[in-house]
Amino acid sequence: MNLEEEAKLNFNSGYNCAESVSLVVSKQLGRMKQSSMSCVPRMATGFGGGVARNGDICGALAGGIMAISLALGRDKPGQSRDPCYDAADRFYNEFVEAFGSSKCCELTGLDLKRPEQRETYQSRIHVERCNPIVAWSAKRAYEIIRKPRGSERPLGLITQQKRSVKHKSLRAHVRAGIA
């Protein structure tokens, strides 16, 4: 199952848009222990429906930004925000370009605070409008994380190369038969 299908599966099984995107991208990245994965949907729950059905930022957009932050964010105040901000800005702008808005109420055309409009959402909008947005968001957030702007190689390869730099001279000696 590909990333988009898994995001839609999560979404159609009861996770909200933000939970679905952040969960599938986080799993794909393998950044967390299985025991810690339960915090991912928990931190995303309140973003569904444009922040608790208020129609503001799309939950799929918020979930993608959370996944980007998990992968590229900082751990300490002295670390740079730039890698994460650059990726989140790129994701946000591509999202708005692709869908015409960042707001749930504009994307769905609904006020999810109203029970009758939630029924319309469940019967039609969830599948027709939000499923494609959730799938696109999961895929695009993952792509941006794996290959940041200006990078010739995916992030995983860059990180792997940095880790192996200290062993490079030893490997060269082994290949040459010196060590």
CA distance 87 to 144: 6
**C-alpha torsion 157→75→25→97, nearest 10:** -90
pTM, rounded to two decimals:
0.81
pLDDT interval class at 151 (50, 70, 90): low
| 153 against 139, higher pLDDT | 139
Question: Looking at residues 127-156, what average pLDDT do you find?
Answer: 83
CA distances for 167 relative to 30, 93, 157, 176, 177, angstroms: 24, 40, 16, 14, 15
Dihedral in degrees, nearest 10, Cα atoms 43, 46, 47, 50: 180
- Per-residue model confidence as pLDDT tens digits over 90-120: 999 999 999 999 999 999 999 999 999 999 9
Return d(Cα 76, Cα 54) in angstroms, integer: 32
Beta bridge partners, 94, equal none
